[in-house]
């Protein structure tokens, strides 16, 4: 699959990969048009935009698969897909991998939280035993039909000490994980230790989410610590919400969308953006 090969090539390259979160085809078009080479289908982004709910494990595998397929139909970008906990136990993981792979995922990120999960920057998280996560990773690796990458994410820092998290990371890589994301770093020293220990073995991924608990907030710092992929899972949604609130307030009060401090797109712009300029507008 060409998009997966493209992702592998980018990982093998020298540049840090910046991957904004997308949640539908329009957001994917905007990310691709802006010049990014990889997009991240964020579970939180789907929960926020599709369900209007926090990221507390309410999204189903079929909902995510539908979004992967819709984005893939519109974009050739490599897609890193958040598959949460695999949406169940071992058999569920294998099925989720096959379904998401067919839908168009290039890489799948699976985490070691209990099912249903919670946002990685929320309190109250729980994780499964390392042995169970190892079995899930092996199931994911064995279930893929192509060269789809499997990234392992650990949320164990919220519950366990750093040495235990290091041990988990070693086990996950030994189980066949193609990349590693440690969520919820509390200190810069922890990030540095992960970069030194694993950065030359597998691509390391870091979440740069606005309002999160990460000790870093920029890609340059992430790259210096030997990380390969910087995810911006909610940047587009976090930008959209205050803009939408401002426009809605203006409509409610003024009854129109002429705003001197804000430029809105129009139909001609959207049609040009989405490549529909030649379509007859008559019903």
pLDDT tens digits for 184-207? 898 999 999 999 999 999 999 999
Together in a domain, 150 and 205: yes
Residue 283 belongs to a domain: no
**Structure token pair of residue 204:** 């390391």
Together in a domain, 138 and 269: no
Residue 248 belongs to a domain: yes
Together in a domain, 112 and 56: yes
Together in a domain, 209 and 257: no
Residue 121 binned pLDDT confidence (cut-offs 50, 70, 90): low
Number of domains in the chain: 2
Rg (CA), the chain: 20
Residue 279 belongs to a domain: no
Checking if the pLDDT of 248 tops 90, the result is: yes
**pLDDT, tens only, 13-67:** 999 999 999 999 999 999 999 999 999 999 999 999 999 998 888 899 999 999 9
Of the given ranges (46-60, 78-92, 121-135, 235-249), which has the lowest mean pLDDT? 121-135
Q: The tokens 């608990």 sit on which residue?
A: 213
Together in a domain, 259 and 150: no
> 208, 216 in Cβ contact below 8 A?
yes
The helix (H) or strand (E) run that includes residue 108 is strand 107-111
The pTM (predicted TM-score) of the whole model is 0.92
Of the given ranges (3-7, 45-49, 276-280), which has the lowest mean pLDDT? 276-280
Together in a domain, 193 and 259: no
Q: For residue 79, what are the β-bridge partners? A: 39
Residue 38 belongs to a domain: yes
Assign residue 49 the CATH number of its domain: 3.20.20.60
The distance from CA 264 to its chain's CA centroid, rounded to whole angstroms, is: 28
The pLDDT of residue 215:
82
Rounded alpha-carbon distances, angstroms, from residue 207 to 35, 63, 274: 20, 23, 29
Together in a domain, 112 and 171: yes
Residue 128 belongs to a domain: yes
The pLDDT of residue 213:
78
Residue 212 binned pLDDT confidence (cut-offs 50, 70, 90): confident
Mean pLDDT of the chain, nearest integer: 92
Residue 67 belongs to a domain: yes
Per the structure, the complete domain to which residue 256 belongs is given by 242-274
The pLDDT of residue 109:
97
């Amino acid at each position: 699959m060409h998009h997966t090969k493209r992702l592998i090539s980018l990982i093998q390259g020298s540049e840090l990969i910046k991957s904004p979160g997308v949640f539908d085809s329009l957001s994917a078009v905007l990310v691709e048009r802006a010049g990014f080479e990889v997009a991240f289908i964020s579970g939180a982004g789907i929960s926020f935009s599709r369900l209007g709910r926090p990221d507390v494990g309410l999204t189903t595998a079929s909902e995510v698969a539908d979004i992967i397929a819709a984005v893939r139909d519109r974009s050739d970008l490599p897609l890193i897909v958040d598959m949460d906990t695999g949406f169940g136990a071992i058999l569920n993981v294998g099925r989720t991998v096959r379904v998401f792979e067919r839908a168009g995922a290039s890489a799948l990120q699976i985490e070691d939280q209990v099912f249903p999960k919670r946002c990685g920057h929320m309190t109250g998280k729980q994780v499964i035993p390392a042995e169970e996560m190892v079995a899930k990773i092996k199931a994911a690796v064995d279930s893929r039909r192509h060269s789809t990458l499997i990234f392992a994410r650990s949320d164990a820092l919220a519950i366990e000490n750093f040495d235990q998290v290091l041990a988990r990371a070693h086990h996950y890589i030994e189980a066949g994980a193609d990349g590693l994301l440690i969520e919820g770093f509390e200190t810069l020293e922890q990030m540095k230790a992960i970069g030194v220990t694993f950065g030359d073995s597998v691509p390391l991924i870091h979440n740069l989410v606005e309002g999160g608990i990460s000790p870093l907030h920029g890609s340059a710092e992430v790259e210096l610590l030997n990380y390969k992929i910087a995810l911006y899972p909610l940047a587009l949604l976090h930008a959209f919400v205050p803009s939408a609130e401002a426009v809605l307030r203006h409509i409610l009060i003024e009854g129109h969308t002429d705003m001197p401090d804000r430029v809105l797109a129009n139909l001609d712009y959207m049609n040009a953006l989405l490549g529909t300029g030649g379509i007859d507008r008559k019903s």
